[in-house]
Amino acid sequence: MSEQTTPMASEEMLIASFEERTSKSHDSDVQLPIRQASPKLSHNGNVVELPQPLSNDNGESGLDGNSLSESWEDIRTPDADANVTNAIESGEMARQPWELRRVWWDYEEFYDAIEHGDIAAVKAMLDDGANIERKADDGGTPLVIAIYELQWDIIRLLLERGANIHHPVIDTPPIFHAISGAENAPAIMQLLLDHGASLEVTSGPTSMNPLHWAAVKGMVHAADFIISKGFDMERRCLRGKTPLILAAERGHTTVVKLLRAKGAALHVRSNNGGTALMWATSEGHLETVKFLLEEGMNVEDRDKEGCTALSVACDHGHVDIVQVLIERGADVNTLSDEPMSRTPAMEAALSGHTEVLQALLDQGADLTMDPPGGVALLERAMKAGYLDTVKTILKHLGGPDYPTQSVALQMAMAGSHATMKSLMTTVSIMYPHIDSKSACSGDLAWIKWVLDGGGDLVRSRAMRHLLHLIPQNAHVIPDLN
């Protein structure tokens, strides 16, 4: 399942990007960000918040260009600062209605009133001409801010005043944000639907619909509400994932159970052939895996690369899931398809998951299925630097008494000339009766003793590393065999 090897696929990256920009909410999972404080001007005891200068995508300020996305209220004329100062000095500031003060003020007090549920202040500002669609510094519209703060009266007020029910925040329409309202989600979503919102909208690079979003976020109340509206539970995003697969991938077992209780199909596959079981396995969601197995998912189902759930679990190092799958009858010696024919044990070894490898070996995994006799697998594990995995393979192929603490093994796994030189230097310290410096004078007899200590499985690779270090003495290597 090459597509699933990156835990954060496109739709998850979009969500993660949104969550990184968030800071507080009644829902702990998805929140809106903290807005940056605006610069303030103080004069004779009066404090006036000034708007930030507009800037384009390169951080340059200006009043022209298509890259300026903020509304006209932020545009400051050359005399704006002077007007503010004059207004303060004359006392006109306090007497100006909201709509005439737009050039001076940013919208912080408007957003604060929404957050704190001050409906009287919000009404007054709207009456005075506040822009109902103007986004805060964090990208939130007044409507989305009210949704996250669960300000019901203000949500209704904004909708009655004509707030755009489709205005996206972080590329996502308001009804998607309402989904994150936990137990409050159904009521908020119904309110939005009553004012023209639709469940048929999609969002993100993989075109997720609201039920996809609820599945990814684990919002069981929203999912139940959407399903109650007759929404098709089998719709797929552009990666071919149904809500069931998305919920399983994120480990939201409660949502998976809801979808199954409502009749969602179990044996569905994403574009790469992955089942819900495989996706849950790839992310290490043990409880979800157990539930899907109880529901009847087949442990031997394969994706388009011929990988089973066990292969996926071994590749990702989820030993607890490996054990569960084996208990359910998974074949520990199954081969994936060409050109990367691998057993689960090979997947574990080549990823350095020693505990998983040992669990497979305990259940009869055969490393010799990797020709010739498992030696190539050992070589690749040594090249990758997985010392513990290498030791496990050596004991499996060479027997429980095979030496795993030898200098030869360290030489075989040395990843650079510097490491080899260091080993050569320390040989005389580790073995006082050996003079490693004799290698410089052509006396290499001591090397045979060192190589013999590593055994036949280690010898050839250790010898190759020595050849690179002392190529002028290559003619003596055959004598060491």
Output the six-digit token pair for 481.
Answer: 């065999």
Say what the pLDDT of residue 422 is: 80
- Name residue 69's amino acid: S
Residue 140 has pLDDT above 50, yes or no: yes
Dist. CA 10–CA 26, nearest whole Å: 27
Output the six-digit token pair for 268.
Answer: 């569905």
Say what the pLDDT of residue 440 is: 46
Dist. CA 354–CA 84, nearest whole Å: 69
Say what the pLDDT of residue 393 is: 97
Give the per-residue SS3 of the chain: CHHHHCCCCHHHHHHHHHHHCCCECCCCCCCECCCCCCCEEEECCEEEECCCCCECCCCCECCCCCCCCCCHHHCCCCCHHHHHHHHHHHCHHHHCCHHHCCCCCCCHHHHHHHHCCCHHHHHHHHHCCCCCCCCCCCCCCHHHHHHHCCCHHHHHHHHHCCCCCCCCECCECHHHHHHCCHHHHHHHHHHHHHCCCCCCCCECCCCECHHHHHHHHCCHHHHHHHHHCCCCCCCCCCCCCCHHHHHHHCCCHHHHHHHHHCCCCCCCECCCCCEHHHHHHHCCCHHHHHHHHHCCCCCCCCCCCCCCHHHHHHHHCCHHHHHHHHHCCCCCCCCCCCCCCCCHHHHHHHCCCHHHHHHHHHCCCCHHHCCCCCHHHHHHHHHHCCHHHHHHHHHHHHCCCCCCCCHHHHHHCCCCHHHHHHHHHHHHHHCCCCCHHHHHHCCCHHHHHHHHCCCHHHHHHHHHHHHHHCHHHHHHHHHHC
For residue 208, name the pLDDT band (cuts at 50, 70, 90).
Answer: very high
Residue 377 has pLDDT above 60, yes or no: yes
Output the six-digit token pair for 134.
Answer: 């103007």
* pLDDT tens digits for range 280-293: 999 999 999 999 99
Which residues are within 8 A (CB) of 327 and not within 5 positions of it... i.e. 6 or more apart?
none
Give all domains of the chain, ordered by start, each with its CATH number.
170-297 (1.25.40.20), 308-402 (1.25.40.20), 407-480 (no CATH)
Say what the pLDDT of residue 450 is: 81
Highest mean pLDDT among 50-64, 132-146, 416-430, 437-451: 132-146
Dist. CA 143–CA 158, nearest whole Å: 6
The rounded mean pLDDT for the chain is 80
Who has greater pLDDT, 24 or 336? 336
Say what the pLDDT of residue 449 is: 79
270 and 279 Cβ atoms separated by less than 8 Å: yes
Mutual angle of helices 185-194 and 220-228, in 10-degree steps: 40
Dist. CA 16–CA 315, nearest whole Å: 24
Give the pLDDT mean for 392-401.
96
* pLDDT tens digits for range 154-176: 999 999 999 999 999 999 999 99
* pLDDT tens digits for range 50-106: 334 333 444 443 333 333 233 323 333 334 444 444 544 454 544 455 444 444 456
Say what the pLDDT of residue 148 is: 95
Say what the pLDDT of residue 232 is: 97
Say what the pLDDT of residue 76 is: 34
* pLDDT tens digits for range 341-370: 899 999 999 999 999 999 999 999 999 988
Give the pLDDT mean for 309-330.
98
